[in-house]
Amino acid sequence: MDSYNSGNPIGLGPRHRKPKRKYVAKLFIFLALLLLPIGGYVIYQYLSSNQQQTAVKSVQSLSEVPVANLDKARVEKWNGITKKVAYLTFEDGPTALTSDILQSLKEQNAKATFFLMGPNINQQANVVRTMSNDGHYIGLHSETHDYDTLYEKKQYVPEMLRVQKQIKQLTGHAPLLTRPPYGSSPSITKSIAKEIERANLRVWDWSIDSMDWYYKDSAKEVAKTVIDRAEDPVEIILLHEQPQTLRALPAIIAGLKKKGYQFSIYDEDFHIPYNFSKYPNL
């Protein structure tokens, strides 16, 4: 008899081990196999719900995302050097000299902006088409070129719109830029400026007068005037379709290139306000 258990009425000795019941383990495995697909389905629904909510939130948040400004950016400096741009602008054409001016520009690899008059367009339709095909900008310069008619009788906008229609018929493009005969100041009053804005037209004067109307017999003086006065990063140069201007053109282009200028045409998508009247809306 075991001395430890003898006389031990409350059974403080070693416990008697009951045999393991195998059906408990089998039941556990069965329940696990039963619950596994149910748990997987619950997890799948939870994840799917989160993805849908995230997608909805993403769509709703699109309106809150800042929209990038897609306007054309202008490079002002390159490798630390300020970009210098010259706009050659010719008035009063097309004339008998326009074809020669276009040829000279092509030889010098330069583009220009031409402000044309209505009656001259009718006489030089093929030249206007060539001008457009060569990549120059064609602007508006009225029909009459008459001060009283344009400004006193307020025919500035009506005349420009008629010229615009002529150019569109020949080139397929309705230009927006106008060049006021005699300049915008004091010609364009506030009331005329409002009419111009309502017609979605724009105004460009000039920063350099070539004085080709004054130096009629000296292409050298015309070229010297332009080159000497070109100092700012952006210069808008007033030229006329005159013999002295045509002769001066190669020297003007060469001189401005030497001073670091590139040549460009007016860009409707990046309008640079420049008018003597200082109207910011034009």
* Distance in angstroms (rounded) separating the CA atoms of residues 100 and 177: 24
Mean pLDDT of all residues in 90-114: 97
What is the residue extent of each domain of the chain?
Answer: 22-57, 77-263
SS percent in the chain: helix, strand, coil, step 5: 45, 15, 40
Tell me the HSE value of 17 on the side-chain side, using a 13 A CA sphere. Answer: 3
Summarised one tens digit per residue, pLDDT across range 32-91 is 565 555 555 555 555 454 444 433 333 332 233 222 232 333 445 444 557 899 999 999
Summarised one tens digit per residue, pLDDT across range 114-131 is 999 999 999 999 999 999
Kind and range of the H or E run holding 236: strand 234-240
pTM of the complete model beyond 0.85: no
Summarised one tens digit per residue, pLDDT across range 261-275 is 999 999 999 998 999
pLDDT at 40: 57
Question: What residues does 93 pair with on adjacent strands?
Answer: 116
Query: At residue 167, does pLDDT exceed 70?
Result: yes
Mean pLDDT of the chain: 82
The residue ranking higher by pLDDT, 100 or 6, is: 100
Using DSSP's 3-state secondary structure scheme, residue 151 falls into: helix
- The sign of the dihedral angle between the CA atoms of 21, 25, 27, 28 is positive
**CATH superfamily ID and name for 77-263:** Glycoside hydrolase/deacetylase (3.20.20.370)
Summarised one tens digit per residue, pLDDT across range 18-43 is 444 555 555 556 555 655 555 555 55
